[in-house]
Amino acid sequence: MLLHLHHHHHPLLYDSIATKASMIASVMSNNTSRSCIGPSHVSEMSRLKLSKQASGGNAPGLSRKTGSHVKHWTTNVYGQRAQERVLEEEAPQVSETTPSIKIFPGQAFPLGVSEVESGINFAIFSQHASAVTLCLSFPERWDGKMMELTLDRHVNKTGDIWHICIEDLPRSNVLYGYHIDGPRDWHRGHRFDSSIVLLDPYAKLVEGRRYFGDASKKFSNFLGTYDFESLPFDWGETYKLPNIPEKDLVIYEMNVRAFTFDESSELDPKIRGSYLGVIEKIPHLLELGINAVELLPVFEFDELEFQRRPNPRDHLINTWGYSTINFFAPMSRYASDGGGPLNASREFKEMVKALHGAGIEVILDVVYNHTNEADDANPYTTSFRGIDNKVYYMLDVNNNGQLLNFSGCGNTLNCNHPVVMELILDSLRHWVVDYHVDGFRFDLTSVLCRGTDGSPLNAPPLIRAIAKDSVLSRCKIIAEPWDCGGLYLVGRFPNWDRWAEWNGKYRDDIRRYIKGDTGMKGSFATRVSGSADLYKVNKRKPYHSVNFVIAHDGFTLYDLVSYNFKHNDANGEGGNDGGNDNFSWNCGFEGETDDISIKSLRSRQMKNFHLALMISQGTPMMLMGDEYGHTRYGNNNSYGHDTTINHFQWGQLDTRKSSLFRFFAKAIQFRQTHNVFHRENFLNKGDVTWHEDNWDNYESKFLAFTLHDNNGGDIYLAFNAHDYSVRASIPRPPVNKSWFRVVDTNLESPDDFVTDGVPGIGSTYNVAPYSSILLEAKL
């Protein structure tokens, strides 16, 4: 067991720690022994005092042994009484501020940091490591020194787990990481580098820079920390989970920082862009009418990762967060006022509690397909790569152990390796048990369907385990059923009747029909009625289709009707990033225009898209900002812009509160109060009447149908994607009922949506070009 003490000028910025002191290794190996009493192995406990080192960062000066003696006593370690051999090492120039600690071998489980009877236990997995050193730093004690404890593979290792227990550590405000060394066989997949302080994959809290985008701290290291002192979070006596049935969900995809960071939010600058900022804007979410938020990644990530070296993207700030550093820790820079990881954890819980109190569920967008550590050409080693690259990542063993890249981000997490699979499951359970989240949307989930060699699996163990896990049983689990390796699984994702899917075919077919593509009428009908062609199998339900027209990827709704082409020059990739198949239409002019007719057409189209989404069977999802017509000026891949391109513009919302926002909110409310739009089961012949005898007409872009309600409250819908008016024949209403016009997207607000309906509907209705109507049968 080696104990080194290093001094660093700043507790959060760590240089690579230099050469180990071989003299100490010699002293310790020659004067430390393990003794046995009977058949049981005796734990070793050492009390060491080390000299205070000058601020140079070299190994401590133990040039000679000045004296040692051995004491024996009996102690209780993990419930067993055993005689302990204690070595007291006295070094010259001992300082009163130098730590005196007791060390035990520790235990292998749980992984990460835990508080046990004998102290603070550290445990980390590495199958291929040959040496592991625990690094500790105490920002508020012992002058910010970093202590190194080199683990003995014969004492501090059980199977592939390295562990150590320290008795006298503070119960909070300790930073820790690991030096790990091992084989340097690149071609076999190893990437060990013992100079780097690595983050524990199981760290529950992560300390890095305190303020989002602080360029003066762009090279900050990320270290684990823990808190065993704070009282448990008070969820409140009246607190309860919303437990909203999946068929009733209306999901709002949003980014925590972008939601409130803009000055137009009029929040205190200390909480803008934070978890607490979200709480302040819950009234907006309630007014809109959604009942679930899907948060873009909130696991710790490094927003300045692009700025670590000169490159065409070194002006970008990763605001979306799809570059996970750690799967257990909430993003610390979403804490208010630079509050750090402990406050981030507490404030995240406050946000969840407040959202739940408002009847809004919390779904997390999680990224288990890759990490921040990039590729072999420009690696950013912070954790997994340096701990055991061969286990944590998929490798091409036939190509010199190169990383496989099914994520498009340089590496691919080896999700169905037993160790990685358990890490992911432990992470998910942690967010459900500790943070009370209600579900997960899995980024590029097809990666999770690949074996350790990258080949697709018919029954992926991880996907099954998530579906069957008892802790996760109450959660919504949503797949993005594709990856960057071409594994497109929409409608055939291995699901165990539990998994829902982002329905990419819904997005494409709705876009193409509404903008007026020919031959799309049948596909449009299939999508709005629940995509039975994809999901009516076994026990799957319509709500397993997460319907969306817009998501964070791609155009906003406003840009979908304003741009034919992406405009991504600001991203630094020469316009090569972002999708080209957007199925968008600019309504006659590319980008901003003052043409009143074009602006009116765009407004109609946005309302048409939203109405189609809200009357479709399945689970609707909309994007933050679409309720007021947010623009990114044609950028369809805006992940790297911490600007108004992504930031919610509260002033624009106010300007459009009585027009577009009103329509959005009314449509959501109407869906929620009419079960005919969100049935438990797929439509049968008695549930819908298609007013159509022209299915085979490739040029036809008009579709009308009636959804039947058991109580006679039928709904008639017509969508006209022609560039001319269509006189629709209106069917007879149910007995003793009359048709009332609720929606006509061709009308201006407030006439475009009248919840109670406008009477006087005759046997025909003139449906304007590029518009839609909704009629309700009422007494």
Q: Which residues are catalytic?
A: 443, 480
3-class secondary structure, 151: coil
H helix or E strand, kind and range, residue 120: strand 119-125
Q: Give yes or no for a contact between 202 and 112, defined as CB atoms under 8 angstroms apart.
A: yes
CB 572 within 8 A of CB 315: yes
Q: In what order do the strands lie in the sheet with 715-720?
A: 688-690, 702-707, 715-720, 771-778, 738-744, 753-758
* Amino acid in position 378: N
Q: How far is it, in rounded angstroms, from Cα 377 to Cα 374?
A: 8
**Going by C-beta distance under 8 Å and a sequence separation of 6 or more, which residues neighbour residue 268?**
none
Measured at the alpha carbon of residue 233, what is the angle toward residues 231 and 236, in degrees to the nearest 5? 125
- Which pair of structure tokens corresponds to residue 97? 């501020």
Specify burial of residue 295 (Cβ count, 10 A radius: 0-12, 13-18, 19+). Answer: buried
Q: At 602, list the tokens.
A: 């765009």
Q: What share of the chain is helix, strand, coil (3-state, %, to 5)?
A: 25, 25, 55
Q: Tell me if 279 sits within 8 A of 656, measured CB to CB.
A: no
Question: Structure tokens of 386?
Answer: 């340096």
- Whole-Å CA distances, 736 to 298, 632, 708, 777, 778: 53, 49, 15, 9, 8
**Cα-to-chain-centroid distance, residue 750:** 38
- 663 Cα distance to chain centroid: 30
Q: How many residues does the chain have?
A: 779
Query: Which tokens belong to 481?
Result: 């059923």
Whether residue 341 contacts residue 207, with contact meaning beta carbons closer than 8 Å, is answered with: yes
Q: Under a CB-based contact definition with an 8 Å cutoff, are residues 593 and 634 in contact? A: no
Residue matched to tokens 């990881």 = 341
Instruction: Write out the DSSP string of 600-654.
Output: HHHHHHHHHHHHHHHTSSSEEEEETTTTTT---TT-S--TT--STTTS--HHHHH
β-pairing, 439-442 with 361-366? parallel
Distance CA 702, CA 516 (A): 10
Find out whether the peptide bond into 750 is cis, omega within 30 degrees of 0: yes
Q: What is the dihedral of CA 729, 734, 739, 744, to 10 degrees?
A: -60
Beta bridge partners of 165: 104, 121
CA–CA dist 530, 543 (Å, integer): 8
Give Cα 310 distance to the centre of its chain.
27
The amino acid that residue 218 corresponds to is K
Retrieve residue 559's tokens.
Answer: 């840009």
| 204: amino acid identity, one letter | K
- Integer Cα distance of 397 and 291 in angstroms: 47
Q: What is the DSSP string of 291-344?
A: -EEEES--B-B-TTGGGSS-STTTT----S--SBS-SSSB-GGGSGGG-HHHHH
Beta bridge pairs of residue 131? 181
Q: Give 729-758 as a 3 state SS string.
A: ECCCCCCCCEEEEEEECCCCCCCCEEEEEE
Nearest Cα to Cα of residue 424 among 333, 324, 499, 519: 324
